[in-house]
Each structure stands twice: as C-alpha cells, then as structure tokens.
Amino acid sequence: MRRVLTPANATAIAVAVAVLCVVFTAGVAAAADAGSVASASGSGPAAPGVAPSVSADECGPGDGTELVGCWNGTHYEESVNFAETDGLNETQLEALTDLTMARVEHVRQRPFKKDVPVETVSRSEYVNDTASGNGSEAFRRWNDQVWEALFVVGEGTDANSEIDSVFGGAVSGFYSPSQDRIVIVVPDGESPDIDPSTLAHELLHAMQDQYHDLTDPRYVGVTQDGDLAVDGIIEGEAVHVEERYAARCDANWTCAEAPEGDGGGGGGQEFNFGILQTVLQPYGDGAVYVRELRDEGGWAAVNATMNDPPASTAEVIHRNPDYEEGNVSFEDAATGGWETYADQGADGAETAGEASMFVMFWYQSLEYEYAVLEPGATVRENVQIHLDSGPRLQTRASYNYAHPVTDGWAGDELYPYRNGDRDGYVWATEWQTEDDAAAFRDAYVRMLTAHGEDDYADGAVYEIGEESDFPGAYGVERNGTSVTITHAPSPAGVLELRPDADLALPDAGDGADDGTDGDDGGNTTDGNGTDGDDENVTDEDGGDGTDGGDGDDGESTEGTTPGFGVAAALVALVAVLALGARRTA
C-alpha cells in the first residue's frame, strides 16, 4: 500500500506508481539521441531486445499487435487531421489515442499488446473521488507524525489533507492498472482537450503494465522511500520516453499543442511545497537514471531494472544500482505508557530516505527563511541549491536532491509514538561514515535552533516554543555512524521515549516537568483524544487483517498513476523561483 503518498481512496492493491507528474515546457534542448529511432525501412539490424518500426506501407487496418509503430492502421508518421482547440469528440479521441500509441511504440521500440481505453473526468469529479478521509484514525495520526518529523507539515495541520490538496488540485491524468484504462482530468465546464504529453506519458504506463504487471507487489514500496525508489524506474521510463517523443515533435512530427490552462485547478492553486517536491523526485532523477541505463545497456537494461526496481531514493539520486545500505539499530525501550503503531508502516516504522531528508532541510529555507543546508550562504542561495540541477530535461523541470548533508544516507527508521493525547517519535538514522553522520546531525541541530530561541547545548534536550509550527522537546544523539532523534511534547517525555539516551533535561529548574503534561498534546489535527482502533484501511493483505475502509473500493481512482498538468506545474515552479529571488537572508 502507499502509506504516505497515496491519494485518499486508493485501496490495498494500489500500485506504487501513484505519484505526481509535473509537465513543464521548459524549452531546454533534449538529449542528442532523443527520439532517434529508425524505421524498419532501410535500417540495419535491430538492437537486442528491441523491435524496428514498420514503414507506412506495412501498416494497415487489422494488422496484428506484433507490429511496432502501427496501431489500428495508424502509422506513427501520420498526423491528426482535426483541430483540438474546441475539444475532442469520441471519434477524435480514439484517433488521437491510436496515433499516440503508434508513436509511443516507435519511441519505445516495443508494441502494445492491446488497446488502452482513454476517458475524461472533470476536475471537481476527480477531487470528490480522491479527497476524503485517507485511512483510519490510527493511520492519519501516525502519518501526521511522519511529516511533522520531516518539518514539512507542522503540528495542528492535517498532513493527509495537505497530501490530498496536492493530488486533487494538480493531477492531470492517471492510468489505472487494476482497470486497464487511462483517465484524463479536464477543467470543469470545458471541452475535453487532451495534452499529448500527458497522454503519451500515461500510455507508457499502460505499456509497462502490459509487460510487467504493475499490480505486482514488487511495485509497491513498503515505505515512503521504497515507494519513491520504485517510482524512480516506473516514472523515470515514462519521462524518458516523453523526452524522446517531444524531441521528435520538435524535429519532424506534427504534434498538437497542449491546451491552455490544462491540468491543475487554475493559477490560484496552492500546494505544500515540501510534499510537492518530495513526490516529484522520481520524475527528474528517475528520468536521468533511465537515460543512463539505456545509454549503457539499451532498453534491455531498462527492462531488467523494471524487473528488479530500485530499493532506495539514494540509488536513484546517485544512479548507482549497487548502492549499499547499512543496518539501522533501534530497540523500543520506551517507558511511561508510550507505544508505537505496530499495524502501520513497516512494523510501526517509516523510512524517509535521502530524497525526503534533503527536502526537509531545503524546505526550511523556502518556507521559513532559515539557511540550513549551507549556513554560510543566503536563504536565496539555499533555495537555489534545489533548483540547480546538472542533468537537463526538456519536458519538465529537473531538480537537485543531492547535497553533502544527506549524500551519505545508509538507512533510517522513523517510529511515531502515542501516549494518550500526546504524540512523539524516535527517528533512528544510519550513515555511510562518521563524517556523514556528523554532517547530518549538525544540519539537524541548525534546523532546531532556527525554529527555537536558544543555543543548542550538547547532551541536553532542546525545546522549541509554542510559537513555532514544530513545538516541543528534541533529543539528538550521535554515536559513530548513527544519529537518533527523539521528539515529545516535553523534555521528560523525550527521556521516557529514550530512557537509555545520554541526554539530560535542559537547565530550567529541577526537572519539574514530569512528562505528564498532556495539555500540549501534539494531537492529530482533529483534536482527538483517542488513539483509533489500529485499523489501516490501505493495509496490505498481511497486517492486522482489517481494512477499516470507507466503502469506496470501486472508486475510479483505484490503483492509479496520476500525473500533474502544465498550469499547476508552472505555477509551482514560478512560485519557487520567485521566493528564491526575493529571500536574501
């Protein structure tokens, strides 16, 4: 299941590819080989594992599905003969789909096995289908702590609603592996124009499903980092094909322009940029990863990686299939009534991973104007770190998720806790070297003190006041290559969660804080004082056997692979650039 990033009504069988696709018309030159696929006519032997495209003379109605570059009698070099500015009727949509399928076949050098139905749905219908109670009460409370631990969603804000707003407001289309169909989201009250890039992207997902079965458990990450990692190959291949498709449109294909105002709920839509930039990571890094796989081993290397997906975002960020992780050491020793959520996540834990950790530190500059990644630089320069990416993409922005503060990631386990009305967590992290661990620890302390008012005292619990979005007490311990972070509403609560920690209460009296001060609670945003029934509506088959669902098993968005639209994506990018430009520390 998608425990953190899933749209609200995804069910237990939801595929791990339900992340966001932001389509940018960036105007950057594509890779030199993009789209350079020869047809069968006059071509030499095909590379191993690929099929050459047929000529126009070889493409006719009724031809079998074994032909590449020909679908339902439409050849990839043809063009549609109708205007799309006033919307598409059913016949025109079918014609556009046939042409796009033939072109995707040509670019990917592989035939589709069967037709892919394409439908449209209005923005309001999509939002209504996806934005409602994501998960059980226990899941929502657990998930709130995950995003609070990442300093992306503050206390008193519902993380699940923030996620829903990202999906509901900007998704422009999705492919449903469980239903073998594509749904394009169109603005309310407008004719169903189709963005060719969105259609090509989602058709590639359909092709992946036909060859690899995207409902297979290997495409469902157990953790947030695992989910994003799997998406690195799934979305990376889709973006890479889209890059090559766009290059052919620039070179010699007649391609329709994207409809104005497509996908994204209008220019006034607001997103939590911490969530947004986290879920975008597979689309940029993944595309570059797939491009390198193909350069080195052709489509066969991409197929092999699809069969054995990446296990961490670190593998995708650094484009290293042999990336080694370490063993995270954590033992639950909490006292005073604190308990984990055994039926959530991976035995109660989430793995944030390198991508999410980078965004955590970067987001402090964007949202709070704190220079955390590089304290000697301005806030603007800290924001720019994420925007300065070496590899370039043509169809969307490519962001940077690599930085010395997080490059040495070797593993992490984040355990949310509950104790009546009180919430807390213990986050155990492992790093490749002691220097890597020290770099992460120092950056984390910078983030704490930026939100707090006092200097950090080594070995003492640190407190952040109620005026912050992340109030409460924090303990930070480094032992060799391990860094462990503990959070509770009070300093005494930190020591209850980690009784063996080498931490002392802050100098604020005689420790009058006895850890029983549930009044500052850290509850979930609905103010509940209950801890829910350990139901997990999207728990996979094992789990606790309960699905606690909302009764929406038949929703049209089940097991989907949504994609963002142009308008929302550009609004997002412009907003980031504008903030970076005006914040100068």
SS (H, E, C) 145-199: HHHHHCCCCCCCCCHHHHHHHHHHHHEEEEEECCCCEEEEEECCCCCCCCCHHHH
* Residue ranges in 452-584 assigned as alpha helix (H): 491-497, 566-582
Q: Is residue 376 part of a domain?
A: yes
End-to-end Cα separation, the chain, in angstroms: 41
Coil, strand or helix: which one is 411? strand
What is the C-alpha separation between 424 and 334, in angstroms, rounded? 11
What is the C-alpha separation between 338 and 497, in angstroms, rounded? 7
Res 169: pLDDT: 65
Q: Express the helix, strand and coil content of the chain in percent, nearest 5 each.
A: 35, 10, 50
Which of 566, 214, 194 lies closest to 396 in space, CA to CA? 566
Res 483: pLDDT: 98
Which of 421, 391, 347 lies closest to 30 in space, CA to CA? 391
Q: Is residue 44 part of a domain?
A: no
- Six-digit token pair at 405? 């503060």
> Which residues are registered as beta bridge partners of 469?
none
Res 186: pLDDT: 80
Contact, 35 vs 247, CB < 8 A?
Answer: yes
Q: Is residue 350 part of a domain?
A: yes
- What type of residue sits at position 275? I
What is the C-alpha separation between 324 and 585, in angstroms, rounded? 37
Q: What are the φ/ψ torsions at residue 364 (nearest 5 degrees)?
A: -65, -35
Angle (CA) 316-284-382 rounded to 5° is 95
Helix (H) or strand (E) holding 291: helix 281-307
Number of domains making up the chain: 1
- Six-digit token pair at 143? 């998930």
* Cβ-Cβ contacts under 8 Å for 14 (sequence gap 6 or more): 1, 2, 6, 220, 538, 558, 559, 560
Res 26: pLDDT: 28
DSSP state of 525: T
Q: Is residue 424 part of a domain?
A: yes
Contact, 297 vs 289, CB < 8 A?
Answer: no
Task: Please give the chain's pLDDT, 585 residues, in tens.
Answer: 222 333 222 222 222 223 333 332 222 223 334 344 443 333 334 455 578 999 999 998 877 688 999 999 999 999 877 665 567 888 888 999 999 999 999 999 999 999 999 988 888 887 777 654 557 899 999 999 999 999 999 999 999 989 988 877 667 788 999 999 998 888 777 666 777 888 999 999 999 999 999 999 999 999 999 999 999 999 999 999 999 999 999 898 988 777 765 444 444 457 899 999 999 999 999 999 999 999 999 999 999 999 999 999 999 999 999 999 999 999 999 999 999 999 999 999 999 999 999 999 999 999 999 999 999 999 999 999 999 988 888 888 889 999 999 999 999 999 999 999 999 999 999 999 999 999 999 999 999 999 999 999 999 999 999 999 999 999 999 999 999 999 999 999 999 999 999 999 988 543 334 444 433 333 333 333 333 333 222 233 333 333 333 333 333 334 444 443 323 333 333 333 333 332 323
What is the C-alpha separation between 493 and 516, in angstroms, rounded? 8
Which of 319, 321, 318, 325 lies closest to 358 in space, CA to CA? 318
Coil, strand or helix: which one is 279? helix
What is the C-alpha separation between 293 and 297, in angstroms, rounded? 6
Q: What are the φ/ψ torsions at residue 214 (nearest 5 degrees)?
A: -65, -5
- Six-digit token pair at 201? 């992207």
- Six-digit token pair at 506? 């802050």
Q: Is residue 310 part of a domain?
A: yes
* Cβ-Cβ contacts under 8 Å for 489 (sequence gap 6 or more): 422, 423, 424, 471, 472, 473, 517, 518, 520, 521, 522
Distances (CA, A) of 554 to 178, 179, 190, 559: 11, 10, 26, 10
Q: Hey, how many other C-beta atoms are within 10 angstroms of the C-beta on 255?
A: 18
- Six-digit token pair at 322? 């042999």
Q: Is residue 444 part of a domain?
A: yes
- The predicted model scores a pTM of 0.81
Q: Is residue 476 part of a domain?
A: yes
What is the C-alpha separation between 452 and 518, in angstroms, rounded? 21
* Cβ-Cβ contacts under 8 Å for 355 (sequence gap 6 or more): 225, 228, 278, 281, 285, 313, 317, 401
Distances (CA, A) of 472 to 149, 181, 274: 12, 47, 21
What is the C-alpha separation between 171 and 110, in angstroms, rounded? 27
Res 270: pLDDT: 74
Which of 418, 434, 416 lies closest to 426 in space, CA to CA? 416
What is the C-alpha separation between 327 and 345, in angstroms, rounded? 18
Contact, 232 vs 285, CB < 8 A?
Answer: yes
What is the C-alpha separation between 490 and 494, in angstroms, rounded? 7
Place of tokens 């839509």: 269
Q: Is residue 286 part of a domain?
A: yes
Place of tokens 């980031």: 576
Range of the domain at 466: 226-260+279-506+563-584
